[in-house]
Structure 1
């Protein structure tokens, strides 16, 4: 792509495309085209992939979120396609407007990105009970991740979780740790969402139990980026205040307004059709090569255009 297309919901900095490509040594058209071609050719050779016709823009964004590495992009694509196969309950396509849980457990990407091109994901838990569990909320998050994969161009995520109004004992009561681990694995490895920071707003000591679950899933490096705040003042030291919803002292619309606007996007006919198409991007595990397993990490002699 020559420029990042204008989006109905998310915004970009004026230099986002150039900055991100340059930091991964992909600033010339030839380099990014070469990377996409390598990934495209690899996909065609994978017998277990049920979908092989990904758009070139989609593949470019996959490479970008993989830090410019074709090798990482292969791994990420294999993971997300495999997750759709082994965890189908998380990827069912529904009308998101039917998810009652998102009225009390809100979660949405904020429109503006940070000056260093990170996207902010904000969750506010004000629910008093979760009798039906969290599955609808996970599906809602994954719908948003699909949208971000298709439309965004960013360095990664800054996550904010506000638990100050939550009933922590009810949250812990209905929280299925195995499902949370699966969801975090899908976000981390499947969608390749790189966590630059995760910030918990809470005054409850019970939050330690939830934070510990997150730490078990993430690497030691990412786990070191999990911070707990008892007030907004310390949060502002890590997240630009102006980018936050107005009830958090920022200049954005309220969190409810932002979420409602995004729900309109997610429930549109166009995006629903896109989700149905992407649901075909799964795997036939029986067709995997003998020396190939999604559990086995990065395999084969892949070419990496940029390394850490």
Structure 2
């Protein structure tokens, strides 16, 4: 792509494309085209891929998310397709407006990115109890990840989890470590979202129990980026205030307005058709050349285009 296409929801910095490509040594059109060609050729050689016709823009974003490395992009794409096979419940195509859990546990990627090209994800837990667990939220979140994969161009994500209106003990009851770890694997290894910071907003003394659950599923590196804030003032030290919704002291629209706008995009005919098409991007594990049940996708010729 020559420029990042204008999007109905998310926005970019004026230098995002050039900055991110340059940091991965992909600033010339020839370099990015070479990388896409290598990834495209490799996909065609994978008998276990049930979908092989990914758009070149999609493949470019996959390479960018993979820090400019075709080798990593192969692993990421193989894992995401494999996750669709082994965790089908996470990827069912729904009208997002029918997922009841999102009335209590809401989340949205904010429109503007930070100056260093990170996207902010803000989730609000307002639930007093969870009758059906968290599966609807996972489905909702992965729909959002699909949108980001298809439209964004960023360095990673800063996550803010607002628990100030939640019943923390009721939330703790539904935090299944296995489900969380599976969902985290999809987020990190499938969608390739690099977490630059994880911030909890709460004044509950019971929050330490929630934090300990999260530490069980994150790597030590990410766990070291996990911070708890009892006020917005300390959050502003890590997240640009102006980028936040107005009720968080920022200059953006309200959280509800931002989420409603995002829901319009996620429920559109165009995006639903895209989700249905991407649902074909799964694997047939029996057709893997090395049928070990979970191959990392490193067969075939490839060239690493950047030092990771």
TM-score of the two chains, using structure 2 as the length reference: 0.97
The residue matched to 2:116 in structure 1 has which SS? coil
After the TM superposition, which residues 46-61 of structure 1 pair with which residues of structure 2 at under 5 Å, given as runs? 46-61=46-61
Supply the distance in 1 between the matched residues of 2:292 and 2:56 (Cα, whole angstroms): 25
- Alpha carbons 1:25, 1:68 under 8 Å: kept: yes
After the TM superposition, which residues 91-106 of structure 1 pair with which residues of structure 2 at under 5 Å, given as runs? 91-106=91-106
After the TM superposition, which residues 106-117 of structure 1 pair with which residues of structure 2 at under 5 Å, given as runs? 106-117=106-117
Match of 1:280 in 2: 280
- Alpha carbons 1:81, 1:282 under 8 Å: kept: yes
The residue matched to 1:197 in structure 2 has which SS? strand
Match of 1:160 in 2: 160
Supply the distance in 2 between the matched residues of 1:223 and 1:298 (Cα, whole angstroms): 28
The residue matched to 1:221 in structure 2 has which SS? helix
Supply the distance in 1 between the matched residues of 2:189 and 2:3 (Cα, whole angstroms): 27
Corresponding position: 1:28 with 2:28: yes
Cα deviation for residue 298 of structure 1 reads 6.6
The residue matched to 2:166 in structure 1 has which SS? coil
Cα deviation for residue 133 of structure 1 reads 1.0
- Alpha carbons 2:78, 2:296 under 8 Å: kept: no
Deviates more, 1:174-183 or 1:147-156: 174-183
Match of 1:77 in 2: 77
- Alpha carbons 1:109, 1:122 under 8 Å: kept: yes
Cα deviation for residue 204 of structure 1 reads 2.0
Supply the distance in 2 between the matched residues of 1:127 and 1:199 (Cα, whole angstroms): 19
- Alpha carbons 1:118, 1:155 under 8 Å: kept: yes
Corresponding position: 1:169 with 2:154: no
Supply the distance in 2 between the matched residues of 1:299 and 1:271 (Cα, whole angstroms): 31
The residue matched to 1:259 in structure 2 has which SS? helix
Supply the distance in 2 between the matched residues of 1:291 and 1:24 (Cα, whole angstroms): 33
- Alpha carbons 1:202, 1:230 under 8 Å: kept: yes
Cα deviation for residue 51 of structure 1 reads 0.3
Cα deviation for residue 136 of structure 1 reads 0.8
Structure 2: runs of 5 or more not aligned = none
